[in-house]
A and B are shown apart, each in its own frame.
Chain A
């Protein structure tokens, strides 16, 4: 038994109320929902009855999350978030595999060469910011800001979304929000961009804090590693391994 247009519209209304993020997931679930209702209607149930049964079934899922003030997703959103987590984890594994690939294959020769060139030609820089001085404060403030801006350029819409749902974002908003829309892409992209940069910041902070004078060898090693990480990240973006998700815009 085929669904009529008005019945399909009713199902669409329910789906839109779930505020899903991914087009592909939306389509898949929509098809499943409709197929199941059609099947139940073939067993001589009314549309309302079958709709309620399927709806109840879907709404029983829960997924714990930690996104600002959101602690749990329900129903379709929960299923979507689960899928998001699989992809997110996969992206991270892929990233570290790519990174390790540089060490385990003949590519390491190229990186050794780059390291030697840096050692030879880069001027020796002594890092000595004094803690508590104005310089280190600006440094400490501007680096995270730069990261945020970089991520903002890459994934503007998602970051706005992420900000809206964060605890920080809730300070700026006046109305109570329903917890729903959050895109997984933000998380992955954000983390991937953050990995090399935060590694560098960590080293700089470590050096500053303990006032270690870095010799030229370790300095060139740090530079080479940073370039390696950045190039892996760039490779990721060029091959569009991260950006192949279609975002759903209602």
Chain B
């Protein structure tokens, strides 16, 4: 019984963490594009890997649906370019998407700071 409850708790925790990552993934992508100008899909996965020191690995199955969704929503725009004989698709934030990006980044930042406050409460000297 006890074991079962533990198992359910662990599964629930994993589920919530996954949802967190899924929810903030589009913001992470927007942040990267905001900072770096234009990037292509593989470059984004590499950049995230590099920045988080292999902690967060974005898979193609998570990345491309988000990129395509943002493109469909006209937050991003794509341009094709020939590189090494292959056609590469670069993504860029549109002027319309810029406001969305700034908003979402600020939102995620505030959320992360609040989480930090809860997880690492500062000892106050009274």
**B72 to A90, Cβ gap below 8 A?**
yes
Q: Which residues of A contact B69 (CB under 8 A)?
A: 86
Knowing A79-B60, A83-B68, the reply to whether A31 touches B73 (Cβ < 8 A) is: no
Q: Nearest Cβ in chain B — how far from A118, in angstroms?
A: 37
Residue in A closest to B91 when the chains form the complex, CB atoms: A28
- Also in contact, A27 and B68, with CB within 8 A (given A32-B42, A79-B61): no
Assuming the A-B contacts A57-B59, A79-B61, are A28 and B41 also in contact, with contact meaning beta carbons closer than 8 angstroms in the complex?
yes
Q: Does B86 count as interface, using CB distance less than 8 angstroms?
A: yes
B72 pairs with A31, CB closer than 8 A: no
Complex-state Cα separation, A61 to B78, whole angstroms? 24
Within the complex, what minimum Cβ distance (angstroms) separates A159 from chain B? 24
Set of chain B residues within 8 Å of A247, measured between Cβ atoms: none
Is A69 among interface residues, defined by CB-CB distance under 8 A? no
A31 touching B68 in the complex, CB below 8 Å, given contacts A60-B61, A79-B60: no
A32 touches B73 (CB 8 A): no
Q: What residues of A have a CB within 8 angstroms of the CB of B42 in the complex?
A: 31-32, 35-36
Tell yes or no: A87 within 8 A of B by CB.
yes
Interface size on A, residues (CB 8 A): 23
Residues of B within 8 A of A82 (CB): 64-65, 68
Q: Which of B26-73 contact A (CB under 8 A)?
A: 40-42, 46, 59-61, 64-65, 68-69, 71-73
Q: Does A30 contact B (CB under 8 A)?
A: yes
Specify the chain A residue showing the minimal Cβ separation from B86.
A31
Report yes or no: B65 in contact with A24, Cβ–Cβ below 8 A. no
B65's partner among A2, A79, A87 (CB-CB below 8 A) is A79
Q: Are B86 and A34 in contact (CB under 8 A)?
A: yes
Name which residue of chain A comes closest to B82, CB basis: A27
**Are A57 and B60 touching (Cβ within 8 A)?**
yes
For B41, the chain A residues whose CB sits under 8 A away are 28, 31-32
- A45: min CB distance to chain B, Å: 16
Q: How far is the CB of B22 from chain A (nearest CB, A)?
A: 14
Q: Is the CB of B59 within 8 A of A83?
A: no
Min distance, Cβ A112 to any Cβ of chain B, angstroms? 32
B12 within 8 A of A: no
Is the pair A31, B64 in contact by a Cβ cutoff of 8 Å?
Answer: no
Residues 205-249 of chain A: 1 if any B CB is under 8 Å from the residue's CB, otherwise 0?
000000000000000000000000000000000000000000000
User: Within 8 Å CB of B61, what residues of A?
Assistant: 60-61, 79
Q: Give chain A residues whose Cβ lies under 8 Å from the Cβ of B83.
A: 31
Complex interface: chain A residues within 8 A of B71 (CB)? 86
Query: Which residues of chain B come closer than 8 Å to A129, judged between CB atoms?
Result: none
Alpha-carbon gap, A24 to B81, bound state (A): 11
Known: A35-B42, A57-B60. A86 touches B72 (CB 8 A): yes
Using a CB–CB cutoff of 8 Å, the interface residues on chain B facing chain A are: 40-42, 46, 59-61, 64-65, 68-69, 71-73, 78, 80, 83-84, 86-89
8 contacts between A and B (CB under 8 A): A24-B78, A27-B86, A27-B89, A28-B41, A31-B83, A32-B60, A39-B46, A79-B61
